[in-house]
A and B are shown apart, each in its own frame.
Chain A
Amino acid sequence: MTIFNEIRQLAQSTANDYLTRARHRGHPTVGYFCSYVPEEMIHAAGAVPYRMRAVGSEGTSLGDTYFSSANCSFVRRVLDKGLRGDFDFLDGIVFMNGCDHNRRLFDNWSYAHPDTGFNYMLFVPHGRSEACLAQYGNELAKLGRFLEERFDTELTAEKLWNSVALYNRKRALLQEIADSRRAAVVPISGTEFLSLMLAVSVVPVEDAIALLEQVLAELRAGRIHTGQAVLRLFVTGSCLEELSHLELLESAGAVVVADAICLGARYFELPVPVGGDPLAALGERYLRNLSCPRMMDDVAGRIAHVRERVSDFGADAVILEKLEFCSMMSGESYISSHELRKFDIPSITLTRELYGGGVGQLKTRIQAFYEKVINRS
């Protein structure tokens, strides 16, 4: 099996052999949501952090008995999978108040109580000020104490720095792979990159590094993406994990060259600064990393990031991805599209249900948008 086939298989599975082997070595698996939960802390406690996803979801019928029709399809699908026992291999989950839907996912999960171990809620502030950083530091300390007690271990500075080094290495490798897409002929498509992200966020970090090194070796050997792309795209927005969706974007004649999504740049940009107190360093990195629309005081920073990357990666247009009922992305996409227009950067907001239908309609919109962008030049 080639490395890309293996990655695709990992990306499309809920559980995997890497986790089973880690368990046999004495490392439990802890699920987590969102990009504001420091994996390093879970790793330093001796567990394998597992990024929760709805991959392989077959519907929402069980999730719908808890959530309403006004709640987003991500939480409904993930809870549905939880209730069907798909996540029974987990020893616990760290939830986070990423948004109202996710906040209530913790409540519904705790209430429905599927067999997934402990449920812990990490409260993350909605700003990046010094007061918020201090508050986040307190929350991380609480999480640390919880993990220590749960796994009967001590989160020493040495263990934390060791984890930081591993995760920084993983980030650096991902960054290098992502940067390779600056080239005129990209070595890896957006769909393949998302597969990679999905894969390396559900295996032990040591295995993730090995996989990424293999991928990088292939890219260095001159691999090129053979798809017929006329346009280069930048993708940003809320939760996006469907390979089929990126395939749809790319099969219509484009290639995704950069992004600002949770399973993308938000995950690997900015290493944890080394030195001093490890929890303070983690707080600094996670709270002040490339933000998502939940952070209230960084709209300008997010727009600046998009503009900078569009320019660096030679993107022709921006896709603003939004899940139905995502209030935060509703506001963000309005501001982004207006700001991008000022700089003559075409953009389109695509609203969808996670693993939802309407492919034909979406394809028509995408094709019309591409045509508009192509005709500008």
Chain B
Amino acid sequence: MELKPYEIIESVIAGARLGTKVLDRPHLAWLGVKAAAPLMFHREHRLNRASRFGFQKIGSSRWSPGELAAYKHDCIATLAFFQRVLDARDGREPLVWLGWPVPIEVASGFDDVAAFVPEAFMAIANMVGTDGHVACLEAVEREGISDDICAMDRISLGAYLLEQIPTPAAIVSVAHPCDASRTTSQLMEYISGAPAYTIDTAYTKEDADVALYSKNLFEAIAFLEDTLGRKYNWDKFRRMVAVLNEQNRYLNEITHMNQSIPSAGLSLGLQTAWGSKITGAGNPELVESARAMYNVGRFRLRYPQLRRKVEKFRIIVADMPIVFSEMSMLIEKTFGGVVVGDYIGDAIFPEIDMTSLETMMMGVARDRLYMGMVKQAHGAARETVDDLERQIEQFSADCVIQNGHQGCKHNRALQRIVKDVCRRHDIPILIMEADIFDKRVMSEAEIKRELTNFFVANGFAS
């Protein structure tokens, strides 16, 4: 696939603009999505290549008008974020790259600096069809960089090599959450030649470790002030943290709603919130999105009989979900299995103490340590294993699926321990050999086959 410069970001902007307009009338949009479903649902082909990802992002025709209304606010936040990146490309303001676990507030607290997260391409490259991911990966392969590095990181690199991302004025990278992100940060710094500051991160969630992380965040802001010659707006930071606190309160509630039987069925929405937080934490639109999603959840808990029809069994995805093609709605529609929890859609965040800038920065640091993927990947195995045990118990899971993401070396190294956890809880586990971003490793059709065999073999489907 040949990509024109900035084609992916421009597609995202076009999609977000469309979403903002269409989702303003959620019931009408709901009808439209239902009508389009036969063309979109089962597989990607010539006619739906450019739009299927968008269809999947809004629930693959399984979402209610309420969920669509919530997503409109994510579209507005997405549009603002990517439009600013293109404006920066055109020289309107400097662009700062942030490694994805770096709190976006570090850069978005400046009034006149555009923030960008190169890893966003792991999620958005599909806007031109699933070959978008492959195009970025192939660019890296042509460059001679080994595929030992996680595909998510290689997609970011490839996007830069293919002129999908503007060159940064500065980079803030982070020693989180894995070797692949560490080495890719070094590669991005080398290839772009931009000045960089590296944040070392906490290995536990203990106060002393979080304090170090927080100290690094202050230093990163000072680095950006020096490098860019601009002043950080601390009042804006305070406002963003207040917004984050409010968003988190809703996300915590929604996560608890997913634990009830039947579940509120909002894990896909929480996954969206995870992605939106990376690029837009502190944006009031995300509070609106979370609030609307929360209202959907309340309605569903009030009328559980509606969800009982949908939910036949409950699944924990002990991994990142497959990104190149959304699977949870397919599982729900085909088998009646509801993904109630996963690596990133389990959003339990501590309240941030607003007393002072120091407590707020500590809170932001801790917030990102509780974000999915960081939460499980840093430190010792208990961060992952205890989390899985807790999820199995709290979410009353009937089975566990691990996609077996190829790039996730630390997670792959825990498969015996994870299997034993499931054995102790007497629930079956499926460990696949997929790559969540690279369909060439295991295609959508193969994944569906594995899932079908697993559900049939364990009596969840016939």
Contacts and interface: CB of A to CB of B under 8 A. Distances in A.
Interface of A: 65-68, 70-72, 75, 97, 99-101, 103-108, 111, 121, 123, 125-127, 129, 131-132, 134-135, 138, 293-294, 296-297, 299, 322, 324-328, 330-335, 338, 351
B156 interface: no
B90 to A, nearest CB: 30
B456 interface: no
A101 B219 contact: no
Contact of B413 (A68, A123, A138): A68
B179 A70 contact: no
Contacts of B182: 126, 294, 296, 327-328
Interface in B403-456: 404, 406-407, 409-410, 412-417
B355 interface: no
B187 A335 contact: yes
Nearest to A139: B203
Interface in B314-339: none
Given A104-B381, A296-B182, A327-B150, A334 B413 contact: no
A72 B178 CA distance: 15
Interface stretch (B37-45, B138-146, B233-241): B138-146
Interface string B67-91: 0000000000000000000000000
B200 A127 contact: yes
B175 A331 contact: no
B380 interface: yes
B190 interface: yes
B208 A296 contact: no
B200 A111 contact: no
Contacts of A125: 175, 200
B307 interface: no
Contacts of B180: 327
B215 A138 contact: no
Interface residues of B, number: 42
B255 to A, nearest CB: 26
Contacts of A322: 146
A111 B381 contact: yes
Contact of B212 (A68, A101, A131, A299): A131
B409 A131 contact: no
A327 B416 contact: no
Contacts of A129: 198, 200, 219
A68 B187 contact: no
Interface in B164-194: 173, 175, 178-180, 182-187, 189-190
A108 B384 CA distance: 13
Given A100-B179, A328-B183, A296 B412 contact: no
B380 A121 contact: yes
A108 B417 CA distance: 8
B148 A324 contact: yes
Nearest to B143: A334
B149 interface: yes
Contacts of A334: 143-146, 187
Contact of A107 (B175, B187, B417): B417
Contacts of A71: 409, 412-413
B247 interface: no
Contacts of B149: 327, 330-331
Contacts of B216: 131
B150 A68 contact: no
Contacts of A132: 200
Contact of A351 (B143, B146, B208, B409): B146
Contacts of B410: 100-101, 103-104
A101 B186 CA distance: 19
B213 to A, nearest CB: 10
B412 A331 contact: no
Contacts of A97: 203
A331 B409 contact: no
Given A70-B406, A132-B200, A331 B417 contact: no
Interface string B215-256: 110010000000000000000000000000000000000000
A321 to B, nearest CB: 13
A313 to B, nearest CB: 25
Contact of A100 (B185, B186, B189, B409): B409
B381 A293 contact: no
A66 B413 contact: yes
Contacts of B407: 327
Contact of A66 (B178, B198, B409, B416): B416
Contact of B198 (A67, A106, A127): A127
Interface string B367-400: 0000000000001110000000000000000000
Contacts of A333: 146
A101 B175 contact: no
Contacts of B381: 104, 107-108, 111
A343 B146 CA distance: 23
Contacts of B406: 70
B211 to A, nearest CB: 10
Nearest to A105: B413
19 contacts: A67-B413, A71-B413, A100-B409, A104-B409, A107-B380, A108-B417, A123-B379, A126-B175, A126-B198, A135-B212, A296-B182, A296-B185, A299-B186, A299-B190, A327-B150, A330-B149, A331-B184, A331-B186, A334-B144
